[in-house]
A = this chain, B = another copy of it.
Amino acid sequence: MTVLTILNAPGTEIPDLLTDLGDRDGIELRIAEAETLSRALPGTDVLLMWDFFSTALRDAYASADRLTWVHAAAAGVDSLLFDELVDSPVTVTNARGTFDRPIAEFVLNYILMHAKSSIGSLADQREQKWNRRSTRDVAGSKAMIVGTGAIGREVARLLKAVDIEVTGAGSHARGGDADFGDVIDSSTLADHVGGYDWVIDIAPLTERTDRLIGSEVFAAMDDTAVFINVGRGDTVDTDALVAALRGKEIAGAGLDVFDEEPLPADHPLWGFDDVIITPHMSGDTRGWRMRLAEQFHRLFERYLAGEEFPHTVDKKLGYVR
């Protein structure tokens, strides 16, 4: 008997593809929410974090007596990981691959909106104002992509497809990368970020990337450059970002993630003319929940068959290596 527990958020639907697993011989399916997780965990072999931002496992972990695998239906696993889980033999997998292309398209959307002055055009439109002006070419512009994981690579490929030059910033400097060519050490961003038009943050949140991008980096950016974050809000010093925008040290931003979500209604970031705020949705294109369900379903079949997973999270690093 394999016991599969799905941790769900209140009011969120779980696709039939997953709930139907409970009808299979040899599988017991339990559906839990944060408050009931500690009761569901005893006997659970496999935990699916369908509530992908939940930190409930940390609180309930003492009740886990035979857990072998946790799957997070998300790319970032920062909210899931904690010391006892990291030090345990439990395998952790994530939604690697599911969000890559949607997020890359979202980044290109931010870039084009800034280059083509779209916020200004929509503002003019509301006043029926015919305000002809010059905009910027995207071809030939330069992007620094902070984070060289699967999503960062897909961003690089898409931007290169529209003739944007890309450089990567990762955990260590190297050359000859298939997608980036040169990769700089992201701890030296301030030394390299001048001359780039777009600085794109898609780094995983780890101890190393916590507040990685702060006042030094913003000061080193061109004042015509735009900062884009589709990774994790905590990789940025938000006060420094607000100060850089106020001081016109950078020209604007495209922000999908924040250190506090939802972004509070009174937060200064809402109010800048050259900042596009979106509510942590860059990866969520139509059918995204079904794609997440299908991905878990494929991994679960492998688990039942005793096969290896194509990728697992390096729990010490905090991301898939």
Select which of B134, B161, B263, B288 is within 8 A of A286 by beta carbon.
Answer: B134
A-B contact pairs, 16 of them (CB 8 A): A105-B116, A105-B162, A106-B116, A108-B162, A109-B118, A113-B118, A118-B276, A124-B279, A128-B265, A128-B270, A130-B279, A132-B284, A133-B279, A135-B286, A137-B286, A161-B161
The reply to whether the CB of A112 lies closer than 8 angstroms to some CB of chain B is yes
| Contact flag A132-B281 (CB < 8 Å), given A105-B162, A116-B106 | yes
Say yes or no: B105 contacts A112, CB within 8 Å: yes
Residue on B with the closest CB to A264? B128
Residue on B with the closest CB to A114? B109
The reply to whether the CB of A313 lies closer than 8 angstroms to some CB of chain B is no
Say yes or no: B162 contacts A285, CB within 8 Å: no
| Contact flag A135-B101 (CB < 8 Å), given A118-B276, A125-B277 | no
Say yes or no: A277 contacts B137, CB within 8 Å: no
A interface bracket (residues with beta carbon within 8 Å of B): 35 or more
Select which of B112, B119, B261, B285 is within 8 A of A135 by beta carbon.
Answer: B285
Say yes or no: A130 contacts B276, CB within 8 Å: no
Say yes or no: B134 contacts A284, CB within 8 Å: yes
Say yes or no: B276 contacts A105, CB within 8 Å: no
A262 partner residues in chain B, CB cutoff 8 A:
130
Say yes or no: B281 contacts A134, CB within 8 Å: yes
- Which A residues between 113 and 129 are near B, CB-CB below 8 angstroms? 113, 115-116, 118-119, 121-122, 124-125, 128
| Contact flag A130-B263 (CB < 8 Å), given A162-B161, A276-B122 | yes
The reply to whether the CB of A136 lies closer than 8 angstroms to some CB of chain B is yes
A137 partner residues in chain B, CB cutoff 8 A:
101-102, 105, 285-286
- Which 4 A-B pairs have CB atoms at the shortest separation, nearest pair first? A130-B262, A109-B112, A128-B265, A161-B161
* A270–B279 alpha-carbon span in the complex (Å): 27
The reply to whether the CB of A158 lies closer than 8 angstroms to some CB of chain B is yes
The reply to whether the CB of A88 lies closer than 8 angstroms to some CB of chain B is no
Residue on B with the closest CB to A131? B279
A101 partner residues in chain B, CB cutoff 8 A:
137, 139
Say yes or no: A281 contacts B128, CB within 8 Å: no
Residue on B with the closest CB to A138? B105
A125 partner residues in chain B, CB cutoff 8 A:
270, 276-277
